[in-house]
């Protein structure tokens, strides 16, 4: 399985990229929650146990689980000259601009985290001022700063591996993310898809240095011909235009249609996959709150290297039926009960990870939605989620499929 191959949301899942939550969660404080896009502080030990249960469920279904931190470690171990380059880039993207601090931080990491994986994990965890050697820098900022101040912010959202990059067929989008604090997460994908022997060299349909925001939670592979992308709080339409141009002009791509879903712009519906995921050949979970305000645009090649766009006036069920190739069933989160739907949507009741047609990983806490799925013939693999759910993302958010078998 060299390279990537994801041409659906439901084909048998063979390989997936995860990130086990680490010490980055220990650098969350009440004062930094908003900046770091969290609503609460997860209990790390329990979050790790829940994540391990998630990985075990996937392995039990025959999925190869690889970890982002291990892939990055393998890249640098295989190319030792990249260590300095990576550290310099990471320090710069952490906002460090003074030479004295660049040197202090780099020397500190190389001295205290000489092992490659230790170094990678530390770049994810972040650094606060009190960790650094206590030598007098003679800088005013150090004299007035709290010793607990974050010098290099952590990346607590990194266990949501869906967002920094996304597989599109046999290619990849390395995303420019909505929030500055998350945009640094894409540095790992950039190295992995350039240098890792198992992943290097796929067509790149979007680059982390491109202008407009897009995140992987808004990108869904419907089939080998159709890609769905959400216009959302975190994905701009300009980025979709760019991906459409690149995908349609790549002779190796079989995608000939992109459906752009304009969803409400709010925290509960931050990505398309928080309101809409495919769970079987003919079944989708949806949040009923998107049905009224949803607008769908169809983007196709115009035959001259550009695109043609038209707004679709039909209901969502009719549009999906056309592109899936058979009548579809939309299963509402919470079973259509408004209170249950809003409560369970907050805990990602519609954010499922399909491991094969009709079998999905779900949060056990969303019992109303899960019961509805069971009654509609879906096999739900329930995972614990008391702490992981505090990050506002479900099983799909926490996974980046790298290889699915053809349908």
Please report, for the domain that includes residue 97, its CATH number: 1.10.3930.10
Q: What is the pLDDT of residue 148?
A: 55
18 and 134 both lie in a single domain: no
**Residue 218 lies inside a defined structural domain of this protein:** yes
131 and 144 both lie in a single domain: yes
238 and 292 both lie in a single domain: yes
**Residue 270 lies inside a defined structural domain of this protein:** yes
Domain boundary among 100, 118, 152: 152
Question: Could you say which of 333, 354, 380, 397 is catalytic?
Answer: 397
18 and 124 both lie in a single domain: no
Dump pLDDT digits (tens) for 222-268. 999 999 999 988 899 999 999 999 999 999 999 999 999 987 665 54
What is the model's pTM?
Answer: 0.93
Domain boundary among 102, 132, 152: 152
Question: CA distances (Å), 40 to each of 45, 283, 353, in order?
Answer: 15, 33, 24
Q: What is the pLDDT of residue 349?
A: 67
**Residue 4 lies inside a defined structural domain of this protein:** no
208 and 254 both lie in a single domain: yes
**Residue 104 lies inside a defined structural domain of this protein:** yes
| 397 a catalytic residue | yes
pLDDT band at 281 (very low <50, low <70, confident <90, very high): very high
The answer to whether residue 65 scores a pLDDT higher than 90 is yes
51 and 92 both lie in a single domain: no
200 and 110 both lie in a single domain: no
47 and 77 both lie in a single domain: no
Q: How many CB atoms lie within 10 A of CB 176?
A: 21
Residues 6 or more apart from 310 whose CB is under 8 A from it?
Answer: 297, 298
Residues 6 or more apart from 361 whose CB is under 8 A from it?
Answer: 54, 57, 58, 352, 353, 355, 380, 381, 383, 395
Residue 63 CA to residue 143 CA, distance in Å, equals 52
135 and 267 both lie in a single domain: no
What domain range includes position 305?
A: 13-68+157-404
**Residue 21 lies inside a defined structural domain of this protein:** yes
């Amino acid at each position: 399985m060299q390279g990537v191959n994801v041409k659906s949301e439901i084909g048998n899942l063979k390989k997936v990229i995860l990130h086990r939550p680490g010490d980055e969660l220990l650098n969350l404080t009440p004062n930094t929650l908003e900046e770091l896009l969290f609503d609460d502080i997860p209990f790390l030990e329990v979050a790790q146990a829940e994540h391990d249960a998630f990985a075990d469920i996937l392995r039990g279904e025959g999925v190869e689980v690889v970890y982002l931190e291990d892939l990055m470690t393998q890249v640098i171990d295989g190319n030792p000259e990249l260590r300095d380059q990576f550290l310099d880039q990471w320090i710069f993207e952490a906002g460090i601009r003074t030479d004295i601090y660049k040197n202090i931080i780099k020397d500190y990491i190389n001295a205290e985290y000489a092992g490659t994986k230790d170094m990678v994990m530390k770049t994810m965890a972040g650094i606060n001022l009190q960790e650094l050697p206590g030598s007098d820098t003679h800088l005013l900022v150090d004299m007035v700063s709290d010793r607990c101040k974050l010098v290099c912010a952590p990346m607590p959202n990194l266990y949501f591996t869906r967002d920094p990059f996304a597989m599109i067929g046999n290619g990849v989008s390395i995303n420019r993310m909505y929030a500055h604090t998350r945009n640094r997460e894409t540095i790992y994908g950039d190295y992995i898809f350039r240098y890792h022997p198992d992943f290097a060299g796929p067509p790149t349909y979007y680059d982390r240095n491109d202008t407009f925001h897009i995140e992987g939670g808004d990108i869904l592979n419907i089939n080998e011909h159709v890609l769905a992308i959400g216009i959302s709080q975190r994905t701009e339409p300009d980025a979709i235009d760019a991906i459409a141009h690149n995908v349609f002009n790549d002779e190796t791509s079989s995608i000939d249609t992109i459906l752009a879903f304009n969803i409400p712009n709010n925290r509960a519906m931050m990505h398309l996959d928080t309101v809409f995921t495919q769970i079987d050949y003919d079944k989708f979970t949806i949040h009923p709150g998107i049905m009224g305000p949803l607008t769908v645009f169809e983007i196709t090649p115009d035959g001259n290297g550009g695109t043609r766009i038209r707004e679709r006036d039909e209901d969502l069920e009719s549009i999906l039926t056309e592109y899936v190739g058979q009548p579809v069933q939309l299963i509402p989160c919470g079973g259509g009960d408004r209170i249950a739907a809003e409560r369970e949507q907050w805990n990602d009741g519609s954010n499922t990870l399909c491991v094969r047609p009709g079998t999905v990983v779900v949060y056990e806490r969303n019992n109303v939605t899960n019961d509805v799925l069971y009654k509609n013939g879906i096999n739900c693999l329930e995972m614990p989620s008391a702490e992981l759910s505090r990050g506002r993302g479900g099983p799909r958010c926490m996974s980046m499929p790298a290889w699915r078998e053809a349908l």
